[in-house]
Each structure stands twice: as C-alpha cells, then as structure tokens.
Amino acid sequence: MLSYDTDGHMNTSLYDKRDDFNFSITNFPFLCRNIPSSPAYGVFISQLIRYARASTKYTDFVLRARRLSDKLLSQGYVCDRLTSSLRKFYGRYGELVIHYDVPLSRTVDESIAGSLPSIQTENGPIGALSSALYEEKYDFSLKHPQYNTVSARVESFKNWSYNEQQHYRNLIPAGFFYTGNSDIVRCFCCDIGLAEWDPGDDPWEEHARHSPNCKYLKEKKGESYINKIQAEWRKIYNPKHEAYNDYKTRLDSYQGWPDDLEQRPDELAMAGFFYSGEGDVVRCHYCDGGLREWEAGDHPWTEHAKWFPFCKYIMKVKGIGFIEEVARQHEAETLAEESRENPQPSNGGHSNYSAEELMQIILEYEDRGEPIPSQPPTSAPPRAPRSIDNTPSPALASKFIISIPSQPPTSALPRAPRSIDNTPSPALASKFIISIPSQPPTSAPPRAPRSIDNTPSSALANPETIAKENEELKNKLICIKCNSKDRNMVFIPCGHRLMCESCSEGEKRCRKCKKVIKKKVKTFLV
C-alpha cells in the first residue's frame, strides 16, 4: 500500500479515495468466510499484504480473495507465520490511517480481531487485539511503552488543536504522542518533549536535533540521517557546553552526586543540567545557568524556568506556557512573602494613578507654573508597583536569547522577575509603555519629564501646542479598530500594539506589518 523512497519519504500508490480505503480495510476479513482453517487464514493475510502493494482499488482485493479460496484449503502454514502476517498488515493499516487522516475506529479493529480463529502459538493465543494486532516488538527499552503503537499514538491526539502549526499525522510516525498540555508532544521511546511547533518544522528533524541517541529514531532513520541533521543543527543551536548536548552524556556526569538529595540525576539531566562535580552544583548545557543548594520539593524543570526563563532549551522542550506559569507562581509567592515581611501602612504610600492621569497632573502643574511635587497626591489607596526589569518577557524571548555568565552562582541566587505574564518586554518598551516613576531620586531635585528644569518651556506654555500634543498622545493610545478603547494587546512576534482586547479577537495577522500573529499579550500602562 505504501512504499518509501531512498530518503525514507512515504510514497502512495493505493487508494486515491478515502471511501475505498475504508471499505477494503473494514470488510476484508469477511471476504474469506469459506476458509476453514487458521493456517489458511494466515496464508490469506500474507497474500493480501503482498497484493496490497500492487493493487489500486478495493475491488482487486475482492477478486484476488475469491481466487485464493480454493488454493488456501490445501495450504498449511505454521501459526507463527499467521502472527507475523497480522503484525505486518496492522503496521500498514496504521500507516494508511495516518496518511489518509482516517479516524482509528476500535470497531474496525475488533471486526478484524473477531474474525480471527482462536489458536495457540508460542507467544500465546491469537485472536486478541493485544497479541496479534496491537503489540509492536522492539529490542530496546521504552520510556512510554503504552504508546509504542501507531493506534495508541493516534488516540492520544484526539484533543489536538494545533494542526495549523503542525498536523498530528506528521508527528505520529516520528514517535510522538500528545501529552494533552499546550502543543507539547513526547517520544514514546526516549521521552524527549517538544513544543512551540511552527508549520515549517519537520518532526523527524526536530527529533534528530534534540535526541540524536533515541533508539527508535536510529532504527527508523539511520545514523547517516541523524549525523547530517546534527551537523546542520550545530550551525544554529549553540549551547554553552556542547559536550553535554545529549541526555546520556549529561546523565553520565552525575558520578558522585550526593545520595541524600531528593533530586535524581535522570530528572536533572532531562531538565538540561549536567553535574559540575562540586557539592550539589549543576549547570545548564545550553544557557550555562547554574543552581545549587537544592532543597526538598525543588523540581528541576521548575527551578530551571524560575531562574533562567530565557533558556532556549526550556522553551523548546517545555514551551513558553510552562515558563509563564512558573513565573506566575513565583510572583505570587514573592509578593506574599514581601507582604508578610514589610506590611504596608493603612494610609500611606503612593497613589494608584495611571500613566495618563500622571501625565495630566504634570501638565497641569506646568501650566500653573508650580513646581512638580516629589510625590503625586495620595487620594487613592496604595498599590505595589508592577515589576519591569531589563529582562525580556518569555513571550518575546524567542527573538533574543540572553547569555548568562559562566561563573557559579553565589549563595544568594538572583531573583526571578516578579511579573512575566501581562508585562511587556522592556526591549519593546519604547513602543508601548509610558513609564512615570512614582518617586524621583532623592539625590537630585525633582524635575518635569519634558523639560530640563521645573520652569515650563515656551512650547509647553502655548495652549495650542499642549492641545496638539495631547491629541497626538491620545491617538497613539487608542485602538485603531474601534477608536474608543485603549490599545492593550501586543502581537507576538512582531511586537506591534494596535488594538484593544475585544477588537484583537479573531485577528490572524498584524495590520501594520502583515506578519502572522502567534500570540497575543495583554499589557498595561504603568
């Protein structure tokens, strides 16, 4: 039914129509009701597989099956031949299911199995789905043996909603099953997880890039294919410690790892870390981020994402959604801790003013010729300032990767940014943030943000100029679609901020640069 060219790509010569495929697969067991013995049935299956390579329509199956009937009565084949034939047929059946995007129906499977005679072989009884149809034998251990069959992997993609980024039928042959979380898939053999799929990604290539030692990959594609992909990948993927690029090498580095620690070497190696050989210090092979002083309850993936959220290895394996979730949890924990340590007075602090309100207050003081106060009025209850640091948001981190210093971390590791979710990247801050400090530096007298001293300039003293500038500022902040609400949605990856949240729904491309929108991030003026 299917053949492969020299590069391993699938060619098809059978079943131009899905209905023909469904008919032949579903009905072939009933085409040989007059075959009295199980060995004869085994011969029939074998012959059917052979004919499948040459046939082009289901009618060929019917015709050839009828011609075989008389011959099969006199044939005698051992039961192991039957088992082998069934396994080969079911493997081809799975390939066709993927290629023609036909839902894998358990009714079809059971109709095949139900028509098989119940016989005994060296490997157990034939006639059950588990022995004849579903088992696929491998000479190596599997991380997720429950997904070692095409049918099981097809079943895992029932709720897959990312076919526009990557169709599931491209992922299944490469050994991947769906985890059910975001667009993260895993290999049933080596357990490598991949996420953030793009339409141009080739699942086999991604598998070879990130897990070149996978035995399933080697069996299906061969060493030469993997070596070729690795050579190309090294030009793009530049880990700080290339020697520890694969999981096995990282795992082998954990000789002498402290036995009293909860974190296991296999978990740490899977999270990208290799052992430095000193104490409990581990380091990421890609970003060179180092961690130590592990405590009970610390999870390697979570700690990696918490302290080094811009590591490309985490983004590819776990996805940006995972990094954002870790950041949200860390922010909540940090704020709760700060609240306990530094309780806010009930009637103090700075006012809860928006950027537009602060700008208006400043302009009013300038118009009156009065000095700008060191603090704005405190008519509103205090609130903690939103954190904006010099680190890009994970939502934009795919555009730039930060190099992390190679020296080991001190006992006080740097704290993760308080807020990654809903906080725009400072790299794009000039495009969509008006940042007004709540309190000027005490070492110098306060000054208005638009003039060198506190005396209004001649331009600002002109009411027409002020009105014009206010109008221009307003236009830059208003949604281009409804012209009423504030712009608060940033399109990723282009970074343009054009619309409000409600108007941005359903937008597939940025109206300014026409790039495809992969993600939308809600932002706030602070």
Residue 283's pLDDT band, with cuts at 50, 70 and 90, is very high
CA–CA dist 57, 15 (Å, integer): 6
Mean per-residue pLDDT, 491-517:
84
Closest to 125 measured CA to CA, from 137, 107, 113: 113
Q: Quick one: 119 and 150 in the same domain?
A: no
| Whether 16 and 81 share a structural domain | yes
Do residues 34 and 79 share a domain? yes
**pLDDT of 97 over the 60 cut:** no
The span from the CA of 200 to the CA of 87, in Å, is 33
Please check whether residues 39 and 94 belong to one and the same domain.
Answer: yes
Mean local confidence (pLDDT), 50-65: 48
Do 47 and 79 have their domain in common? yes
User: Of the residues 233, 262, 295, which one is the last residue of a structural domain?
Assistant: 233
Do 14 and 92 sit in the same domain of this protein?
yes
| Residues ≥6 apart with Cβ < 8 Å to 291 | 273, 281, 282, 283, 303, 304, 307, 409, 413
Q: What is the mean pLDDT of the chain?
A: 65
pLDDT at position 207 is: 92
Which domain CATH number covers 203? 1.10.1170.10
Domain boundary among 233, 255, 280: 233
Give the range with max mean pLDDT: 260-264, 393-397, 398-402, 412-416: 260-264
pLDDT given at position 272: 92
Q: What average pLDDT score do residues 40-65 get? A: 49
- For residue 69, tell me if it sits in a domain: yes
CB 438 within 8 A of CB 350: yes
| Number of domains the chain is built from | 2
d(CA 263, CA 255): 14
Report yes or no on 356 lying in a domain.
no
Do 92 and 168 reside in the same domain of the chain?
Answer: no
Distances (CA, A) of 489 to 196, 223, 394, 396, 432: 21, 46, 16, 14, 10
488-506 in b/e form (b: 16+ CB < 10 A) is bbbbbebbbbbbbeebbee
Provide the residue range defining the domain that includes 156: 145-233
pLDDT number for residue 515 = 82
pLDDT at 55: 46
- What whole-number distance in Å separates Cα of residue 380 and Cα of residue 338? 21
Residue 112 predicted with pLDDT over 50: no
Same domain flag for 48 and 165? no
Structural domain ending residue among the three candidates 203, 233, 263: 233
Partner residues linked to 499 by β-bridges: 489
**pLDDT at residue 401 is higher than 50:** no
Q: Is residue 403 situated within a structural domain?
A: no
Tell me, yes or no, whether 158 lies in a domain: yes
Whole-number pLDDT of residue 420: 29
pLDDT at residue 49 greater than cutoff 70? no
Whether 102 and 152 map to the same domain: the answer is: no
Tokens of 278: 């000193």
pLDDT-based confidence at 312, cuts 50/70/90?
A: confident
Q: Is the pLDDT of residue 38 over 70?
A: no
Judged against a pLDDT cut of 70, whether residue 381 lies above it is answered with: no
Report residue 346: phi and psi, to 5°: -70, -25
Q: State the DSSP string of 182-235.
A: TT-EEETTT--EE----TT--HHHHHHHH-TT-HHHHHHH-HHHHHHHHHHHTT
Determine contact, residues 490/521, Cβ cutoff 8 Å.
yes
Whether residue 332 lies inside any domain: the answer is: no
pLDDT score of 136:
59
Cα separation, 40 vs 69, whole angstroms = 9
Q: Is 494 among the domain residues?
A: no
Amino acid (one-letter) located at 13: S
pLDDT tens, position by position, 163-195: 888 988 889 889 999 999 888 899 999 988 888
Query: Is 427 a domain residue?
Result: no
38 and 112 fall within a common domain: yes
Co-location of 50 and 106 in the same domain: yes
Q: Is 270 contained in some domain? A: no
* Same domain assignment for residues 53 and 18: yes
